[in-house]
Amino acid sequence: MINNKLVVGITQGDGNGIGYEVIIKALADARILDSFTPVIYGSSKVFGFYRKQIHNLDPVDTFVINSAKDARARKINIVNCLPDNVYVEPGQSTPEAAKSAMKALECAVSEIKQGFIDVLVTGPINKRAMSAEGFGYAGHSEYLQNQFDAPDHTMIMVSDQLKIGVVTGHIPLKDVPSTLSSERILRKLRLMKASLQRDFGIDQPKIAVLGLNPHCGDGGLLGDEEQQIILPAVKQANAEGILAFGPYSPDGFFGLGNYSRFDATLAMYHDQGLAPFKALAFQTGVNFTAGLPIVRTSPDHGTAYEMAGRDEADPQSMMSAIYTAIDIFRRRQAYDELQAGKMIERPSEERDRRPGRPQIA
């Protein structure tokens, strides 16, 4: 922290997309720097290029540094991770942009491991382009799980209206049924409960579980995954004290607004959860990776090449990602302090109940 303000690391993402534009717009109001200290991982040169493309914007106060440990309060700090000859081609998918996105991410991860930044907010990337350059992961979440040796993770899309997690993430739709298992669903429910309690301050979260097939399989007529895989997972979760309900047919569940009756929803695959989420909360939605020892969020949109360099991108999702990361970090602190207090109190209580000690009414 700097002056008791969190240091927020922000990766540029794909430099040919809208990442820089939404970052610059999100940080443009100087009053926002009263809340936290931003550190951008990327290039001051590219930052300057996109700053010139944005109209009707107040001057921004930047400070170029070699590491977040040198960051200054009330400045937009930029860690130059990229070579001076970095080239920008707005709207184009290029190997150079993919490599730059990878380099910025690696730099930010290294610094959060060293404690130089408190939370990580990632700019949108082109997964296909990065894969072609040897990234080796389906996305940010999988990369971060590996970097921090996390046993599991799940993507939770967050907004004021709803929270949606997914059992299977960035895999082809044809592979979803064979990937599902009761144990996999159960692991995600355990992880979601823990995250909802620690990261979102919900003491006894209620989680809705969606089915896989149309009409939840219609009693086996349209598929039996609901009866053979999903329902057993829900029952086992209940036996473990997890308030899980379902499975529910997704069309009616979202069409009737039933998601509002629950603290979170668990979808079976990516688009089953993200399509309704983005329809309801695209402008302010946030992608949060639950299960990591660090706090990582990102805006809920992609590179949007068609808008790059045109001063058309909306920064609301990036702003939400920044503030959601800060809120989760603070809640984790409070939760961990509370749990530590309970651990200290418990041995004292046990001593007072030992045989031979008078009980105090």
Same domain, 127 and 269: no
Whether residue 163 is found in the same domain as residue 303 = no
What's residue 19's pLDDT?
97
How high is the pLDDT of residue 346?
62
Q: What is the pLDDT of residues 188-247, one digit of tens each?
A: 999 999 999 999 999 999 999 999 999 998 888 888 999 999 999 999 999 999 999 999
316 lies in the same domain as 253: no
pLDDT at position 261? 97
Tens digits of per-residue pLDDT, 299-311? 999 999 999 999 9
245/335 same-domain check:
no
Q: Answer yes or no: do 74 and 33 share one domain.
A: yes
Overall number of domains in the chain: 2
**Cβ 241 vs Cβ 249: under 8 Å:** no
- Mean pLDDT (whole number) for 288-296: 97
Instruction: Give the other-Cβ count within 10 Å of 182's Cβ.
Output: 17
The predicted-structure confidence for 142-171, as pLDDT tens digits, reads as follows 999 999 999 999 999 999 999 999 999 889
Domain of residue 215, residue span: 154-291
How distant, in Å, are the alpha carbons of 44, 173, 181, 182, 197 from that of 178?
A: 46, 10, 8, 12, 31
pLDDT at 283: 84
* pLDDT of residue 31 exceeding 90: no
Total-model pTM: 0.91
Q: What's the mean pLDDT in 108-113?
A: 98
Do 124 and 49 lie in one domain? The reply is yes
- Asked if 187 and 299 sit in the same domain, the reply is no
pLDDT band (50, 70, 90) for residue 358: very low
6 and 133 both lie in a single domain: yes
Write down which residue in 259, 291, 323 finishes a domain.
Answer: 291
CATH of the domain at 129: 3.40.718.10
pLDDT of residue 340: 87
